[in-house]
């Protein structure tokens, strides 16, 4: 049974949002238009949400381990022999690091990213099989929101210079592929 809720931001604007589940702390979680919710997670997402406590935070990035494989992660560690390219994914503001000669790997964790909505609900930004990544190096808005933007930026660079998304697992904007690191 699909359940959706009508949120009224003002008398002029309404939106219907499918309910995805509830957090351990009791808040409702809804999907958003154009969420980056990856296909095949519908049976794991409510379970993961029920294990997350918001602690009153406005933005959450949580990794939930299920103890056994729930799918495959497309974000893999890379090494010296890997064929690396960069390309822009749709609805992203910078280039993503990809690896062409690797395959996705089994993973037992689900990453869930949520933000608090106008009515106290949490809104799904994205959910995917994998471990918690750092923001991509082009995401200056994210770094600006951190307590130590410089340290956050360095952590992102370290992570993305040793990890990449598996080539072909995500759509890219045609014509954006390059072997030159943009950051």
User: DSSP assignment of 115-127, as one string?
Assistant: EE-TTS-EEEEEE
Domain span at 62: 17-166
Helices (H) and strands (E) in the chain, counts: 3, 13
How many other C-beta atoms lie within 10 A of the C-beta of residue 42?
A: 10
In a domain, 56, yes or no: yes
pTM of the entire predicted model: 0.84
What are the tokens at 5? Answer: 């809720």
The whole-number average pLDDT for the span 107-129 is: 95
Cα-Cα-Cα-Cα dihedral of 32, 33, 35, 37, to 10°?
A: 80
The pLDDT value given to residue 11: 38
Distance CA 50, CA 27 (A): 10
In a domain, 171, yes or no: no
In a domain, 1, yes or no: no
Query: What domain count does the chain have?
Result: 1
Inform me whether the pLDDT recorded for 2 exceeds 80. no
Inform me whether the pLDDT recorded for 6 exceeds 70. no
- Cβ–Cβ under 8 Å, residues 78 and 162: yes
Average pLDDT of the chain, as a whole number: 90
In a domain, 7, yes or no: no
- Pick the more confident residue, 56 or 38: 56
In a domain, 58, yes or no: yes
What are the tokens at 135? Answer: 């923001």
In a domain, 129, yes or no: yes
**Confidence band (pLDDT; 50, 70, 90) for 1?**
very low
H runs (alpha helix) in the chain: 45-49, 140-144, 149-160
In a domain, 177, yes or no: no
The whole-number average pLDDT for the span 59-82 is: 97
In a domain, 9, yes or no: no
- Cβ–Cβ under 8 Å, residues 58 and 115: yes
């Amino acid at each position: 049974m699909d359940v959706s809720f009508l949120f009224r931001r003002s008398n002029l604007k309404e939106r219907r949002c499918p309910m995805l589940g509830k957090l351990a702390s009791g808040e409702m979680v809804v999907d958003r238009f154009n969420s980056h919710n990856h296909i095949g997670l519908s049976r794991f997402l409510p379970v993961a949400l029920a294990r997350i406590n918001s602690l009153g935070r406005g933005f959450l990035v949580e990794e939930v381990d299920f103890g056994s494989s729930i799918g495959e992660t497309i974000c893999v560690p890379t090494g010296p022999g890997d064929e690396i390219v960069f390309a822009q994914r749709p609805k992203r503001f910078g280039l993503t690091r990809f690896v062409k000669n690797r395959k996705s790997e089994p993973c037992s964790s689900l990453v869930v990213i949520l933000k608090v909505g106008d009515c106290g609900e949490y809104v799904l930004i994205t959910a995917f099989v994998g471990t918690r990544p750092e923001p991509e190096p082009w995401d200056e808005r994210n770094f600006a929101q951190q307590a130590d933007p410089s340290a956050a930026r360095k952590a992102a660079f370290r992570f993305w210079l040793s990890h990449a998304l598996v080539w072909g697992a995500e759509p890219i904007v045609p014509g954006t592929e390059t072997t030159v690191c943009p950051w």
